[in-house]
Structure formats: structure tokens, C-alpha cells
A and B are shown apart, each in its own frame.
Chain A
Amino acid sequence: MSAAIGPDVTSASRAVNPRGASRGRGAPANRRGPRESILSRTGAMLVMAVFTLYFLVPIWWLLVASTKDRGQLFSTNPLWFADFQLFENIGALFAYRDGVYLRWILNSLLYAGLGAVVATVLASMCGYALAKYVFPGRETIFNVVLGGVLVPATALALPLFLMFSRVQLTDTFWAVFLPSVVSPFGVYLARVFAEASVPDELLEASRLDGAGEVRTFFTVSIRLMFPALITVFLFQFVTIWNNFFLPLIMLRSEELFPVTFGLYAWNSTINQFPELRTFVLVGSLLSIIPLIITFLLLQRYWRTGLGAGSLK
């Protein structure tokens, strides 16, 4: 079933813009007919506008707050700029405690970036094999992995801590990194997409040309699955980036923290160290900018994956 639906999703999202146009061309009278009254159009736009404020004002406030010094934070209009201190604040943040903040950013990029790359490769190989080869136990493996999607990540954190402490690996990079490279949902997505986007004929052709299976995967199939792989990467990236329980339970040394956890740690001592308030705000702003940009650039792939996940 998923194989039949996959291509629809891809083509639909690829054709978002053309689709609107062709709709208009096909049935102009129906589309912009009098039935859509000015009233309902205004109402719809009003709803969208109000909620745009709801979604964006907090981010705007964070941006404005990050440009103020500590005194102005309390004394000036929270939604508008006072003296523009953003760069001084950033400088102070980077200098604070020998640049521990930069260290956290780097950690996050390693945990989430590298972790998601490894997770994507592993999941796509497994999902591809489940889609393209017939072997005993195939459905069993798939069902067990699907069950893994339902296992709450937080339920795994504590036993993982017990296991890692048995081998003395708690409070190390590996304690957070290793569990992050397993993505059951990625296997599921990769299987759906491999079924939809890698034709068997092409594999046969590649075999006739004398390429081995593994080589075919890395030179031919992986290219066809590329949009799906970006989706898997993004899902896993966000999952790792947002992971809270694992660092909370595994890490004690500040220099291993991912940035969200570091900011959490600062925020929980704000009452003793008021100077941290500015750093928490500026640090939060800086930490979400790369994510927002990534989302904007790759959102086409996101929707493709989201659709595939829901159309079972």
C-alpha cells in the first residue's frame, strides 16, 4: 500500500506551486467563484494573521531581548529595541567561562549532525534491504523495528545509563552519541521510499552490468532515495538536538553538554547568578537560528517525509 502512495506524495510536494496554477487554469470559475465570499476570505485571513502573531511574537521578543543589556531588559519596551547591544552580548557570551558556550554548540553539532548522518546511513541500508530483498524473517524484523518506534525514548534513558555505567562509559561523548545513531523511524521511512523510488528493473540492470549489491546501493539506489534520506536525517537531527533525558542522566561534565542542556543548566541557576540571564537569552537565540535556517532550506523534503509517515 505504501509503495503505491509514496510516489504520489513525492510528486504532490514537488508540484506544490505548479499545482495551484493548474488548478486555477483547469477550473477558474469554480476556484474563484462567488461562493468564496469576501466575508469568509477575510475571516480566514484574520485567523491566519492572529496566529502568525502567536507563533512569531515570542521569537521576535527573544530577538529584541538579546539586543539589550541587563538593565534595559527590565526597563524598556519588551517588544522593541533600546540601545542595540547584540554584538556586545554575543561577545560576552562567547568569552564567558573560556567560551564554554561555543564548546556546547560544537558538541550539539557533533551529537546531532554526525549522529544523524550515521543514523541515516544505517537506517537507509536496513530499510532498503527490507524493501528490495526477499528473505525469511523480513517481516519479523520490520515489525520489531516498528515496535521500536513506539518505545518512548525516555523509557530507554535509565537502562542505558545502567548499561553504560557497567562499562564505565557514563559522562563520556559516547554515552550520548551511540544511542542516538539508532533510528527505527528512519528504517520505516527508508523502506517506504525504497519501495516507491528504486525500481527493480534498475537493480537488475545494474546486476547485469556486474556491479555488486553493496556497490549498487551506494552508487545508484542511494541517489534515488536521496529526498527520503534528507527527511530521515532531519528527523533524527531534530530528535537528537532536542534530546533532554539522555544528557540529563548521562552527563556531569560541563564540557560535554549539548547546547540545549547547557542553557538549561544556566537557566536553573539564574537566581544565584543574575548575569546569566542575558547569556541564556542570547544563547537561546543563537542556538535556534541554525535550526530555523535548516528548516527553511530543506522544508520541501520535510513535507515529503511527513506525508509518507502519515499515509499508511
Chain B
Amino acid sequence: MTAPGTTETARDVARGASTASSPPRRRRVQHPWAIVAFVAPFAVLFILFYLIPIGVAVWQSLLVVERDGTFGEAREVFGGFQQYALVFQNEAFWGSVLRMLLFGVVQVPVMLGLALLFALLLDSPLVRGKKFFRLAFFAPYAVPGVIAAIMWGFLYSPNLSPFEAITSRVDLLSADFVLWAIANVVTWVFVGYNMLIIYSTLLAIPQEIYEAARIDGAGQARIAWSIKVPLVRPALVLTAVLSIIGTLQLLAEPQTFRSFSSAVTSTYTPNMTIYATSSIPNVSLAAAFSVVLALATFVLSFAFLRFTRRKGADA
């Protein structure tokens, strides 16, 4: 810590002054300029690229386009909740929301169930070669959603697939199956990620906790179910909330699947509806969709948190 002499003296003086004046006023903030220097760069960008956009979306959603006559100049004027009325009448949008809810109700439990199972197996003495399995299961997370969708799209296509026995019998890209074909892609990418979250929680649990159970004669399965699962509940809740958010935001995978399957329409997921609407362009309606979707995500996440917390309190 060898600072040049001048600054050192300057700081000494400053410090002397601050220590001299600090005792009478206890609540004085120390190092105010350092705090500003640390917080301001992030805060400014956060306001610019998070808070203001939210405001812009809300404001834009309240506007409507007005024209003088059919071909007159378009003007944006305040229209109150007109766009929201249109949102609630838009069947394609609600169809896509329902589709994603169906998707989430099936995919999220399957994915988290598998992630929990793998984490428990990795944490048990039953499995050898943990390091290898950890890496192998996590590897798909390095594949971006678009690339994963491209890969699986080829794997599902009858003429290219290595699994011809399946793809020649079942058209996985047909309207009946494509939602679950996409669910498989999402599961494939994210199981390992969720597994690692749960697994690192398990690693942080002190071993002594299991000893009593072992002395009482509990086997691995029993220990896993009665001790480990309750202890990783917070991690499970976190992964579930993240997955719920992710499900409603689905875009890259289904958008990529449009080139493999005609069953995936331009309004297949809520985000695709927003994109399609904004490129018509009807930005006000698209903004209203965005606001509704963001609110729905919030509500679902919070409802889930409340629900699990209450259940935890009862137990």
C-alpha cells in the first residue's frame, strides 16, 4: 500500500477530519463518494436498460394509432386501456399462453424430477465416476437454445435421423407431437444445469446430519427421501421459479422449429406472438402483450413461491 506522498497526506487530512467529526453524529455515512463511484455506473445503466424500458412498454401500450381518413397521416394518441381490451380478445395470444402452461405443467416437473434424481445419485455412494457423469450431463447446457433446436430438429427429421425406427413411425414434427419435441429439447439443455444447482446444495450439507440415520439403519434411498430432499427444498423452489419464468419466455427453440415443422405457427408461444405483432407493425399492441406477459410471469412466480412457502410452514 505505498501511495504517493501527496495523496497520502491528503487522505490523512481527510481521515483526520472525518474521525474528528464522526463521534457526535453516529448515523453519518462513511465514504459517500466511494459509494457513489461503486453504485452509480451500474445504477445508471440499470435505469437506462431496465427501468426506463419497463416505463416505455407501459406507456406505449396505452397509445393507439389514429389516422385522418384511411390514408391520412398516422398519429399516436393516448388511448387508455384500448390495447389491453384487444389483448384480452386475442385468441391466438391466449392460445399460446395456454399452450405454454400445458408445456410447463408437464416439462418442468419432468425436468426437475430428473435433475433431483441425478443430483441424489451423484451425491450417493452408489455411483462411481461422478466427475464424468457431472460433466456429461452438464455438457448440453453449453449448447445455445437455437443450436440445440437445430440439432434436435435434424434428429427428428425422418430422412436424417439416426433414430429412423422411431421417426419413420411417429412424425415427431407433426402438430400432435411437436410441442413435446420442443419440451425434449428444453429438457435436454437444462436438466444438467438444474442438477448442478441441486447437487451443489447437497455438497454443502454437513455429513454428520446423515450419521444418526445411518446408525438407525436407514438405507441410501431412505436418507435421500427423508433427509436430503427436504434439505434441498430451497434449491428446488429456486429452479422451479427459474423454469416457470423460462417456460413463459420460450422463443428461440420454437422459432427455430418453424423451419422443421409447419405445425409451429408464428403465434405458437406468447413471445412469438409479441414478435409477430411488433413486426406487422403494431408496437402498441405488442407492448401491451409484453406487459401482460411480464405480469403473468411475476404472478405465476410469486404464486408458486407463496404456495411452496405455505406448504413448508404447514409441514
Taking beta carbons and an 8 Å cutoff, which residues of A are in contact with B?
A: 5, 8-9, 12-13, 16, 19-20, 23, 26-27, 30-32, 35-36, 40-41, 43-45, 47-48, 51-52, 54-59, 61-62, 65, 73-74, 77-79, 122-123, 125-126, 128-130, 133-136, 141, 144-145, 148, 150-156, 158-163, 178-179, 181-182, 184, 187, 206-207, 209-215, 217, 238, 241-242, 244-245, 248-249, 260-261, 263-264, 267-268, 270-271, 280-281, 284, 287-288, 291-292, 294-296, 299, 302-304, 306-307, 309-312
Are A55 and B126 in contact, CB atoms less than 8 angstroms apart? no
Are A155 and B259 in contact, CB atoms less than 8 angstroms apart? no
**Number of B residues whose C-beta is below 8 Å from A?**
111
For A58, A178, A214, the residue with the greatest tally of chain B CB atoms inside 10 Å of its CB is A58
B56 CB–A CB distance under 8 Å: yes
- Give complex CA distance A63, B291 in Å: 42
| Overall SS of chain A's interface | helix
Residues of A within 8 A of B271 (CB): 154, 245
Residues of A within 8 A of B20 (CB): none
Shortest B288–chain A CB gap in Å is: 10
Complex interface residues of chain B between 128 and 169 (CB less than 8 A to chain A): 128, 130, 133-147, 150-155, 159-162
B30 CB–A CB distance under 8 Å: yes
Closest 8 CB pairs of A and B: A213-B34, A209-B1, A307-B200, A129-B38, A78-B162, A159-B53, A44-B126, A126-B42
- Give complex CA distance A144, B151 in Å: 39
Can you list 19 A-B pairs with a CB-CB distance of less than 8 A? A9-B200, A12-B204, A13-B200, A36-B219, A62-B151, A133-B29, A134-B29, A152-B245, A152-B294, A161-B278, A162-B283, A163-B56, A210-B3, A248-B255, A260-B144, A264-B146, A264-B252, A295-B142, A309-B238
Shortest B132–chain A CB gap in Å is: 8
Are A310 and B201 in contact, CB atoms less than 8 angstroms apart? yes
B188 CB–A CB distance under 8 Å: yes
Are B49 and A179 in contact, CB atoms less than 8 angstroms apart? yes
**Contacts A55-B136, A310-B197, A310-B234: A159 and B126 contacting too (C-beta < 8 A)?**
no
Are B162 and A79 in contact, CB atoms less than 8 angstroms apart? yes
Binary contact track B242-262/A, C-beta < 8 Å → 1, others 0: 000100110110011011000
Are A310 and B239 in contact, CB atoms less than 8 angstroms apart? yes
Residues of B within 8 A of A58 (CB): 140, 151-152, 155, 188
- Give complex CA distance A207, B1 in Å: 9
CB contact between B159 and one of A12, A19, A74, A304 (< 8 Å): that residue? A74
Residues of A within 8 A of B154 (CB): 61, 65, 281
Are B127 and A44 in contact, CB atoms less than 8 angstroms apart? yes
Residue of A nearest to B117 (CB): A47
Taking beta carbons and an 8 Å cutoff, which residues of B are in contact with A?
A: 1, 3, 7-8, 11-12, 15, 29-35, 37-39, 41-43, 45-46, 49-54, 56-57, 60, 114, 117-118, 121, 124-128, 130, 133-147, 150-155, 159-162, 188, 191-192, 196-201, 203-204, 207, 211, 214, 217, 219-221, 234-235, 238-239, 245, 248-249, 251-252, 255-256, 258-259, 271, 274-275, 278, 283, 286-287, 290-291, 293-294, 297-298, 301
Are B145 and A312 in contact, CB atoms less than 8 angstroms apart? no
CB contact between B200 and one of A242, A281, A310 (< 8 Å): that residue? A310
Are A122 and B42 in contact, CB atoms less than 8 angstroms apart? yes
Residues of A within 8 A of B60 (CB): 159, 162
Are B12 and A210 in contact, CB atoms less than 8 angstroms apart? yes
Residue of B nearest to A207 (CB): B15
Are B142 and A291 in contact, CB atoms less than 8 angstroms apart? yes
Shortest B5–chain A CB gap in Å is: 10
Residue of A nearest to B33 (CB): A213
